[in-house]
Structures are given as C-alpha cells and as structure tokens.
Amino acid sequence: MKPASRLLFTAAAAVAAILLAGCETVPETGRRQLNFLSPDQELQMGITAFEQIKKEQKIADDPIKNAAIQRVGRRIAEAVGDDVEDAEWEFVLFEDDTPNAFALPGGKVGVHTGLFDVVESDDELAIVLGHEIAHVTASHGAERYSQSMLAALGGLALGTALSGEDESTRRLAMAAYGLGASVGVMLPYSRLNESEADEIGLIYAARAGYDPRAALSFWKRMKAVSEESGKPPEWLSTHPSDDTRIRRLEALMPRMLEIYEKARGEEPPA
C-alpha cells in the first residue's frame, strides 16, 4: 500500500471509529446525533463561558424584566427536569438592544433587554426560554463542534488523497469540499437544530403550563422585525425561514395543546 493510500485508509478508519463512539440520543425527540464531548466537558465549557460573558457585558437592573425571567425561567427549569444534569439554574438579564436570548450547559441562561421589545407576555417569554434551553438539553453546541471536527478530518483525508495531484487541482477540490461541507452538511444541520429546539422548547413551555400558541404570535412578530433588516435565503442560513418555522409550529400545535391541557389539569378539546 502506498504511503498516501495508507494515510487515507488510516484517516477513514479513524473517522469511522469516531462516528461509532460519538453517537447519542436527543431527549424528547429520540434523534441520533454526533457528539464527541462528555457531559462534564459541556458543563465546564458552559459555566466558564457564562462567567466570561458576565464580566464582559453589562448586567441590567430592570426589576420588572428581571422578575419576568426569574418567574418564567424557574417554571421552565422545572419542566425540563432530568433533561439537564447537574444544572445550577441562573437567569441573567443583559443590557443589549438586540431581541435575543441564549442558554449554556449547566443551566446558564442569558436574556437581552431588547427581547422585551418583541415579547408581549409570559407565554411568549416561555417560548423563547424553552427554545434556548432546548439547544442545551439537545447538546446542539456539542453536535456542531463534533461536526466541525469531522469535517476537518474529512478535509485532511481528502488532502492526503490528492497529494499526488497538481496544486490547482488540489486547491479546486479542497474549495469544493469546503463549500459542500458548509452548504450541504453544516447549514442544513444547523437549521435542523433550530427546528428541533422549537419542538423541544414547545414541549417544555406547554409542560410548564404556558400556552404554546404564543409561539405563533411571537414568531410572526419576529418575522416582521427580521424583514426590516433583511435575511439571506434559507439554504444559506443557519436558521429556517420565518415562514418555514411558522408552518412547522402550526403542525406541532395539536400535540403541544394536549401537553398544555394536561399540565393545566384540563381535558383537551374534542
């Protein structure tokens, strides 16, 4: 076996071994995913990152907004239950005009003050917090990290296989590989993660007794906000289009309403 072929075979074997070792199951949906990070690694990375964010960004002291994220956040945390291990829940309001929120492993949740320019109720706030926390319970950050590692290994294997080719051929092939990995794999998986977080987040919100129909009013309002700033086409975006997202939320609504009615101790409508 030639040295280049041997290296390629070794790289392929390593990729196969990593794939077999790195498969896990997403809570609530049961989807199999690639994840090379251990729960302890994720936890430590989340705590470290959140402490750094608190040092770098201004923490808001608005009593009404703070009370809202504590009130809604605690109920969502109870609904999450064992989907987050070793969580020390912390909900922090940051002074930032962008309508955004985020969550990190370990139960660390940040909310921008600008989110309250779009959110109009506790139900809508629960939709947002549920979505962000769902990214953590589904290990989406670790999954994207793992996919990046795998793509890098694939690029290494391709580069080895092309070692005998001329420079222009290698450059063209590597550029095509990079574009294909991004548009054909990484971006679609990012959109899948967003849709999955929508679904899991709705489960958490409904289980906590918040009306899941608030997701429709919230995302329709977010659509109006995003249209003002302009967005790339869906196939070049990390997120599904607003119209796609709203259609999927509407399709999920019957099941989410059953969870909601059960949480409220009521019979679902016939």
Pairing assessment for the beta strands 101-104 and 90-94 based on DSSP bridges: unpaired
Characterize 165-179 residue by residue with b for buried, 16 or more Cβ atoms within 10 angstroms of its Cβ, and e for exposed: eeeeebeeeeeebee
Work out the widest C-alpha separation in the chain, in whole angstroms: 70
**Options 24, 132, 196, 199, the catalytic residue:** 132
Can you tell me the distance from the alpha carbon of 46 to that of 104, in angstroms, rounded to the nearest whole number?
5
- For 42-46, the CB contacts below 8 A with 24+ separation are 42/105, 42/139, 42/141, 42/142, 43/85, 43/86, 43/105, 43/106, 45/104, 45/105, 46/104, 46/105, 46/106, 46/108, 46/136
Can you tell me the distance from the alpha carbon of 179 to that of 167, in angstroms, rounded to the nearest whole number?
18
**Residues sharing a CB contact under 8 Å with residue 166, sequence separation 6 or more, in sequence order:** none
Contact between 124 and 201 under an 8 Å Cβ cutoff? The reply is no
Asked about 132 being catalytic, the answer comes back as: yes
Find where tokens 């985020």 sit. Answer: 102
User: Known catalytic residues?
Assistant: 132
